[in-house]
Amino acid sequence: MAMTIHCDIVSAEAEIFSGRAKLVVANGIQGDLGVTYGHAPLLTSLEPGPVRVVLDSGEEQVYYVSGGYLEVQPNVVSILADTALRAGDLDEASALEAQKEAQQAMLNQNADIDYSRAAAQLASASAMLRTLQQIRKAAGKG
């Protein structure tokens, strides 16, 4: 049996994933972070983006998180996010439209907009699109 860790991915609404994994990769605030069996305890913030989970069987699953926290304890990694979605729940058309709207809002200097909110929406939409690209790559379609 391979050395695995228990992984939980939880959103504000529901538990998205709970199971054994060989590897969990998430987008931390200082770059991508990989967690395997025996990783040192850690607590870090996450940026919006994909979370890859490599199961004991070798199958790779990709999830999207809107940011949040990753905590590593002995034999357990927990990801807590405001929003977490399964790969099949992502909608590329909606993400492209959200990205376009956020870019237009940021370029419209005459409008009374909340720049930080538009920037956050742009980052979230771009992260969803990156997640979709990783899913395609993992499936050999990209």
Q: Are residues 104 and 79 in the same domain?
A: no
Query: Which range of residues forms the domain containing residue 97?
Result: 90-139
- Give CA–CA dist 141/121, Å, rounded: 27
Task: Look at 16 and 85; give whichever has higher pLDDT.
Answer: 16
Q: Are residues 77 and 18 in the same domain?
A: yes
Q: Is the pLDDT of residue 8 over 90?
A: yes
Q: Are residues 35 and 82 in the same domain?
A: yes
Q: Position of tokens 């228990």? A: 6
Distance of CA 13 to the CA centre of its chain: 16
Distance of CA 137 to the CA centre of its chain: 16
Q: Is the pLDDT of residue 1 over 70?
A: no
What pLDDT score was predicted for residue 66? 84
Give phi and psi for 100, each to the nearest 5.
-60, -45
Looking from the CA of 47 toward its CB, the CA atoms found within 13 Å total: 17
What pLDDT score was predicted for residue 96? 66
What pLDDT score was predicted for residue 92? 67
Q: Are residues 11 and 80 in the same domain?
A: yes
Q: What is the per-residue pLDDT across 60-102, written as a single tens digit (0 to 9) for each? A: 998 988 889 999 999 999 999 988 888 666 666 676 677 777 7
- Least Cα distance to 64 among 111, 34, 27, 35 occurs for 27
Q: Are residues 23 and 55 in the same domain?
A: yes
Mode of pairing for the β-strands spanning 5-10 and 76-80: parallel
Number of domains observed in the structure of the chain: 2
Q: What is the per-residue pLDDT across 33-67, written as a single tens digit (0 to 9) for each? A: 999 999 999 999 999 888 999 998 989 998 988 88
CA angle 34, 67, 29 (to 5 degrees): 55
Q: Are residues 105 and 124 in the same domain?
A: yes
Q: Are residues 30 and 76 in the same domain?
A: yes
The confidence band for 134, taking pLDDT boundaries of 50, 70 and 90, is confident
Q: 130: domain CATH number?
A: 1.20.5
What pLDDT score was predicted for residue 122? 75
